[in-house]
Amino acid sequence: MQFDPMASEFWIEIGVSVLCGSIVGIERELNRKPIGVRTCVLVCLGTALFVRVGSLVSTENSDPTRIIGQIVSGIGFLGGGVILARGEVVTGVTTASIVWLLAAIGTMVGASQFAAAIVVSVVAVLTLLGIDGLESAITRLREHRRKDKDE
């Protein structure tokens, strides 16, 4: 298969990658988290491109899904770099998870699963927003239980 930069599918993939990365990235920017729109878009776009290239260069004797496996390994390495442990406090796990999820979303885009990629991006943001309230409630409950035990 020959790559055609003027093909509408190529531009749709770019647009959906940018959209999905932006959906997640804007939430991260607004909450002043370590990764923002730029990083989220680039992870999603880069992953979609790798998947597309894999399908373009595949032959009867090759397996384009191996590229997806390599993406997972590479993103795992990148995500591991943002996790920090200081004593008993571990930070960056959510950021690493988001990078990992963005790679999965980019993989969906590269596989032309555009609607699913957009839905997952929205669900990711809703999860990030909704979990904040749940975590706050759990913290209050934990503090309340601690006070009850102290009395």
Q: Flag whether 56 is in a domain.
A: yes
The reported pLDDT for the residue numbered 151 is 64
Q: Flag whether 2 is in a domain.
A: no
**Among 46, 49, 27, 34, residue whose Cα is nearest residue 124:** 27
Residue 40, SS3? helix
| pTM score | 0.84
Cβ–Cβ under 8 Å, residues 107 and 51 = yes
Structural domain total, the chain? 1
pLDDT, tens digit only, all 151 positions of the chain: 666 777 888 899 999 999 999 999 999 999 999 899 999 999 999 999 999 988 887 777 878 788 888 898 889 888 888 888 888 888 899 999 999 999 999 999 999 999 999 999 999 999 999 887 888 889 899 888 877 776 6
Q: For 1, which DSSP code?
A: -
Q: Flag whether 34 is in a domain.
A: yes
Quick one: CA dihedral 120, 121, 127, 130, positive or negative? negative
Residue 41: domain span: 8-150
The CA-to-CA distance between both ends of the chain, in Å, stands at 73
Q: Flag whether 1 is in a domain.
A: no
Q: Flag whether 127 is in a domain.
A: yes
